[in-house]
């Protein structure tokens, strides 16, 4: 795709996207599907049969599973071929993340190793560092962990107190500090550790081998969920780290951490898909087996509502995840064609979509939260029993709203990054917003296109975008420099932006599917879209009113509230029948089939 035509991060708010230009998961080729199938086969053979053993943290078990997955090549999907990897596209790596996402605690260990554990070296390592570490990490001979969080530095990562001082002979950095919540820390051989050199105000990053003297691993933490994953505190007591193990440049650690977090956030959006689809399949399996009052509970409207809503939230998340994954691949290719090296192009390509990464982390984790919560409800008393996997799925899901920056932090990032990007890059959200505000009193509601289904949906999505834009502009103008202190209002705006992206992604996917398979053959996807757009209009209306009522009064409030109602007005939908059609298809197939 040409650079001028590629919609960059956040620009979905001010530009329209053509359905034919996006990537949808139905377009994965046979090689990509085979990689996903290999992941699924691995879980079926090696993980699902021993879930209880994994959750007891049987000595050496998780480490052996990491090694086995490495032998199948599953740890090297994003590692360059030169270092015994497969160097697949970002979209392919997302598909692998989805496939592994249904592996409960193993998926956490796998994601930590292949993502935040290995990729800092892939993207920032010197040739010598890559030669030494990447082949062993790709094969599973060595396992990796990422050490950023400290007891008094969680969301404020740069507040960490770990320090490194150059030795008198200049050959080592003497590292001291404490890290906590380190996934894979109990068995990892290679640690990416963040610390400040001397009196630096920002972090540097170091590759630290576990075998070095002074690396002390605490006992495993006891956790609510993901019980089988290793989570420990690690102490560094006068650890002599060779100077050649400085990762990247001095003072570059915070940038490395930030960029790896962008990647981790968007990868989490893919990982939750696998967990959600498995939970939905388990939900419908049970609903088709369980009888009450002499009939299967899947025949009840209340259960059909839950099953359909599980599908809708998952399908919309999936649409958004793979839409932006292809955007990232296109951006990486453009940067490489312009002369940027592959590692730099990859990390910068992902960073371009920091807004989407943050919103998908929130959107996906909360979609999964709904799916597993309703799975427990569908199972009833059995869902509360540790005898069923939905008990495990429910507990394991909760961490996703904390991982990779809490959902609160990421909600703030969505609004904050949108405004900062507007001011810095000419992606002028505020200009668009101010134009909308100037025309609030005179603008006539555009006519809804008649007899053109997708034109009607595009019309609604365009109005949703106007809601987000005029909220951003109004807030910027009202609060000026205090803008970022109004967190409750920023949350309202971020929720609107997330629903806009979800609605547009679902619309574009449904439209592209219709062009491929035919309009009549895709009626169920239009049901999904109808329900989601209808519900989004209600949620956007509420969030926008909450924001406006928090900073406007009198006639100004009245005018803006009226405009919100115009922007969020959609045609009536028989959501009961639409949901029942979605649920009936799921019940008929007895598995997630969308």
Contacts of 315 (CB under 8 A, 6+ apart): 506, 525, 528, 594
Specify the residue for token string 């193990």.
245
Own/partner pairs for 54-61, CB < 8 Å, 24+ apart? 54/104, 54/105, 54/106, 54/228, 55/104, 55/105, 55/227, 55/228, 55/392, 56/227, 56/228, 57/220, 57/227, 57/228, 57/230, 60/187
Q: Is 242 helix (H, G, I), strand (E, B) or coil?
A: strand
Contacts of 464 (CB under 8 A, 6+ apart): 496, 499, 500, 503, 536, 537, 540, 567, 568
**Residues with catalytic annotation?**
404
Q: Which helix (H) or strand (E) holds 104?
A: none
- Report CA dihedral (189, 190, 193, 197) to the nearest 10 degrees: 110
Structure tokens at 261: 């977090």
**Residue 190 DSSP one-character state:** E
At 399, list the tokens. Answer: 């961490």
CA dist 105 → 231, 361, 396, 453, 499 (Å):
11, 18, 7, 43, 30
| CA-angle at 530, arms to 528 and 534, nearest 5° | 120
CA distance 321 to 40: 19
Decide: 327 and 6 in contact? Cβ < 8 Å.
yes
Burial of 29 from C-beta contacts in 10 A (0-12 / 13-18 / 19+): exposed
Backbone φ and ψ for 190, nearest 5 degrees, come out as: -125, 125
Distance, in Å, from the CA atom of 199 to the CA atom of 153, rounded to the nearest integer, reads 17
Residues 145 and 182: beta-carbon distance below 8 Å: yes
| 352 CB neighbour count, 10 Å cutoff | 22
CA distance 177 to 164: 9
- Residues 6 or more apart whose Cβ sits within 8 Å of residue 87: 78, 79, 80, 81
Structure tokens at 132: 């030494």
Distance CA 192, CA 257 (A): 10
């Amino acid at each position: 795709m040409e650079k001028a035509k590629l919609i960059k991060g956040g620009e979905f708010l001010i530009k329209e996207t053509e359905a034919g230009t996006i990537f949808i998961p139905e377009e994965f080729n046979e090689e990509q599907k085979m990689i996903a199938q290999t992941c699924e086969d691995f879980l079926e053979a090696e993980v699902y049969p021993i879930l209880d053993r994994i959750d007891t943290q049987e000595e050496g078990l998780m480490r052996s599973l990491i090694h086995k997955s490495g032998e199948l090549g599953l740890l090297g999907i994003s590692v360059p071929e030169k270092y015994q990897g497969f160097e697949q596209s970002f979209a392919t790596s997302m598909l692998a993340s989805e496939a592994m996402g249904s592996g409960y605690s193993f998926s956490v260990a796998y994601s930590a190793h292949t993502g935040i554990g290995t990729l800092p070296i892939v993207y920032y390592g010197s040739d010598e560092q890559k030669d030494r570490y990447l082949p062993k990490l790709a094969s599973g001979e060595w396992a990796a962990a990422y050490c950023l969080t400290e007891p008094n530095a969680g969301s404020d990562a740069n507040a960490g107190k770990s320090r490194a001082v150059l030795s008198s002979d200049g050959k080592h950095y003497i590292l001291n500090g404490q890290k906590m919540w380190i996934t894979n820390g109990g068995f990892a051989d290679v640690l990416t550790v963040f610390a400040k050199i001397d009196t630096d105000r920002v972090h540097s990053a170091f590759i630290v081998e576990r075998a070095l003297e002074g690396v002390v691993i605490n006992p495993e933490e006891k956790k609510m969920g993901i019980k089988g994953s290793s989570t420990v505190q690690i102490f560094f007591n006068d650890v002599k780290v060779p100077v050649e193990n400085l990762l990247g440049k001095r003072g570059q650690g915070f940038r490395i951490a930030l960029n790896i977090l962008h990647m981790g956030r968007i990868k989490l959006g893919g990982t939750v898909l696998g967990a959600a689809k498995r939970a939905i399949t388990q939900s419908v399996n049970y609903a088709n087996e369980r009888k009450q009052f002499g009939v299967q509970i899947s025949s009840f409207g209340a259960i059909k509502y839950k099953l359909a809503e599980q599908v809708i939230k998952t399908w919309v998340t999936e649409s958004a995840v793979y839409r932006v994954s292809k955007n990232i691949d296109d951006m990486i290719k453009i940067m490489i064609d312009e002369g940027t090296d592959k590692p730099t192009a990859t990390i910068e390509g992902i960073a371009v979509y920091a807004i989407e990464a943050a919103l998908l982390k929130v959107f996906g984790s909360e979609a999964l939260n709904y799916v597993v919560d309703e799975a427990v409800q569908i199972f009833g008393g059995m869902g509360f029993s540790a005898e069923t996997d939905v008990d495990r799925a429910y507990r394991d899901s909760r961490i996703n709203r904390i991982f990779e920056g809490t959902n609160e932090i990421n909600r703030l990032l969505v609004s904050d990054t949108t405004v900062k990007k507007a001011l810095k890059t000419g992606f002028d959200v505020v200009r668009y917003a101010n134009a909308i505000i100037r025309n609030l009193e005179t603008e006539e509601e555009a006519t809804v296109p008649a007899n053109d289904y997708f034109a009607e949906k595009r019309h609604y999505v365009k109005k949703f975008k106007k809601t987000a834009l005029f909220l951003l502009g109004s807030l910027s103008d009202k609060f000026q420099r205090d803008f970022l202190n109004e967190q409750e209002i920023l949350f309202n705006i971020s929720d609107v932006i997330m629903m806009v992206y979800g609605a547009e992604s679902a619309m574009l996917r449904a439209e592209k599917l219709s062009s491929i398979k035919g309009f009549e053959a895709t009626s169920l996807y239009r049901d999904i879209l109808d329900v989601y757009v209808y519900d989004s209009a209600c949620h956007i209306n509420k969030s926008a009113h909450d924001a406006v009522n928090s900073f406007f009064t009198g006639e100004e409030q009245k005018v803006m509230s009226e405009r919100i109602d115009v922007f969020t007005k959609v045609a009536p939908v028989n959501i009961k029948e639409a949901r029942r059609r979605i649920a009936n298809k799921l019940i008929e197939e007895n598995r997630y089939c969308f």
